[in-house]
């Protein structure tokens, strides 16, 4: 295979015109968990399509497909000016969304690509099964900070940035190097972009009426952007950071097999705001705490670990959140009779425990649910969920 091969302490990356090929050694993956990992190699937002070329006890080889026109951060950084590097550095904010997720992008300039105006990621790890493993926030910040500096200074050795041995003379780079939080890094980059944009406008200014009006409107836009930026920073600090911390805690609970804890931690989160991997964690946790026989649970978990349908995942997410009516809608839409039966049994149990419901209404619902249970019990003829 033609292409440039680059090794780091974590893995080996080889890039060609059409592909990025990653090779992991035997200590960097769990062979028995690759079926789950394959789910996260499909095309998703920000992720390139991947496929496992070979998997043995000695090594794992994964190939990611590049689209025409893609350029890695390492390639693009040396051909653009400092302002454009700042803009690209700001795009790396998309990576923060994976903090606390089971999926962990490999933070390296050779593994991250720009496609048009969007960020694309080649290799990504999975929980503690495939390198890079899910990392704590402090380690993520260290790598994220090194990545930003690598974009701003493409001539600097990335390993030196990771180890913190690279020294910068300019004040701005020193502030980046000393920043201790994600919010601080984003504020530094955003403020610098606004300053550089204003500087570029000023350098091109000529005192003529027509250009004066252009400059005047540029200042209006500058003030507007500054206000928007400060609003975004405030919103991020008040809302996004607590959400990321909560997702990180849910991930830790999932790894520790504290499935009731996962459900409690994500109880208030809207399903529409959850990533696909977080929904997967929620669905698996929901199955583990369900009132099912161990054999039935194993069957459902096996389906979820493979290429599960969106409806199956969504069904168990609604069950876990206690939204039984929504779960019933999904089950009926899928015409999954065992799943419908299971929801009706839970609705019947719930109707018996509701204290605030009027006795007449409670009795009507119990009759309705009981009739439905009898009807679907006859249809499934002893089958249940996974049979």
Gap between the Cα atoms of 122 and 65, Å rounded? 8
Q: What is the pTM of this model?
A: 0.57
* Residue 121 structure tokens: 């990621």
Q: Among 25-34, 198-207, 262-271, whose mean pLDDT is lowest?
A: 198-207
Distances, alpha carbon 232 to alpha carbons 173, 228, 248, in Å: 23, 6, 22
pLDDT in tens, 178-197: 999 999 999 999 999 999 88
pLDDT at position 222 is 66
Tally of CA atoms within 13 A in the half-sphere of 351 that contains its CB: 20
% residues pLDDT > 90 (the chain): 47
Q: Among 134-148, 267-281, 371-385, whose mean pLDDT is lowest?
A: 371-385
Q: Give me the CATH topology for the region 10-202.
A: Transferase(Phosphotransferase); domain 1 (1.10.510)
Does the pLDDT of residue 206 top 70, yes or no?
Answer: no
pLDDT in tens, 121-130: 999 999 999 9
Does the pLDDT of residue 359 top 80, yes or no?
Answer: no
**Helix, strand, or coil (residue 316):** helix
Domain 237-334 in CATH 1.25.40.680? The answer is yes
**pLDDT interval class at 362 (50, 70, 90):** confident
- Domain positions in the chain: 10-202, 237-334, 343-386
**Helix, strand, or coil (residue 155):** coil
Q: Among 31-45, 228-242, 295-309, whose mean pLDDT is lowest?
A: 228-242
* Residue 200 structure tokens: 């570029």
Gap between the Cα atoms of 26 and 65, Å rounded? 24
pLDDT at position 328 is 93
pLDDT at position 207 is 45
Region 317-321 average pLDDT = 93
Q: Based on the number of CB atoms within 10 Å of its own CB, is 8 exposed (0-12), middle (13-18) or buried (19 or more)?
A: middle
pLDDT in tens, 249-273: 888 888 878 889 989 988 888 888 8
Length of the chain: 387
Does the pLDDT of residue 199 top 60, yes or no?
Answer: yes
**From the centroid of its chain, how far is CA 203?**
40
**Helix, strand, or coil (residue 117):** coil
Gap between the Cα atoms of 187 and 59, Å rounded? 41
Total H helices, total E strands in the chain:
16, 10
Does residue 236 come out as left (phi exceeding 0), alpha (psi in the -120 to 50 range) or beta?
Answer: alpha
């Amino acid at each position: 295979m033609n292409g440039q091969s680059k090794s780091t302490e974590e893995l080996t990356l080889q890039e060609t015109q059409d592909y990025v090929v990653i090779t992991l050694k035997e200590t960097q993956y769990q062979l028995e968990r690759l079926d789950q990992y394959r789910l996260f190699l499909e095309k998703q937002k920000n992720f390139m399509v991947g496929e496992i070329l070979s998997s043995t006890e000695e090594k794992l080889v994964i190939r990611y497909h590049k689209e025409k026109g893609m350029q890695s951060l390492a390639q693009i950084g040396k051909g653009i000016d400092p302002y454009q590097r700042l803009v690209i550095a700001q795009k790396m904010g998309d990576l923060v969304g994976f903090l606390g997720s089971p999926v962990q992008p490999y933070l390296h300039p050779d593994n991250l690509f720009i496609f048009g105006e969007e960020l694309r990621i080649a290799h990504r790890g999975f929980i503690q099964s495939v390198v890079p493993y899910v990392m704590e926030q402090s380690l993520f910040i260290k790598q994220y900070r090194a990545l930003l500096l690598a974009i701003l200074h493409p001539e600097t050795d990335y390993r030196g940035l990771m180890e913190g041995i690279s020294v910068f003379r300019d004040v701005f780079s020193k502030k980046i190097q000393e920043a201790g939080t994600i919010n601080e890094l984003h504020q530094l980059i955003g403020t610098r972009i606004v300053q550089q944009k204003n500087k570029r406008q000023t350098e091109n200014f000529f005192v003529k009426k027509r250009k004066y009006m252009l400059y005047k409107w540029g200042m209006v836009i500058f003030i507007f952007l500054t206000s928007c930026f400060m609003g975004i920073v405030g919103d991020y600090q008040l809302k996004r950071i607590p959400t990321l911390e909560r997702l990180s805690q849910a991930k830790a609970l999932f790894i520790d097999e504290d499935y009731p804890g996962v459900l409690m931690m994500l109880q208030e989160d809207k399903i529409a705001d959850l990533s696909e991997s977080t929904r997967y964690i929620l669905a698996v946790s929901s199955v583990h705490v369900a009132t099912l026989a161990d054999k039935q649970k194993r069957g459902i978990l096996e389906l979820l670990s493979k290429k599960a349908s969106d409806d199956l995942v969504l069904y168990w997410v609604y069950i876990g959140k206690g939204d039984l009516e929504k779960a019933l809608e999904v089950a009926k839409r899928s015409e999954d009779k065992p799943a419908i039966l299971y929801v009706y049994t839970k609705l019947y149990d719930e109707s018996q425990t509701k204290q605030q419901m009027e006795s007449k209404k409670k009795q009507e619902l119990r009759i309705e649910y009981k009739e439905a249970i009898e009807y679907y019990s006859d249809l499934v003829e002893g089958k249940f969920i996974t049979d």
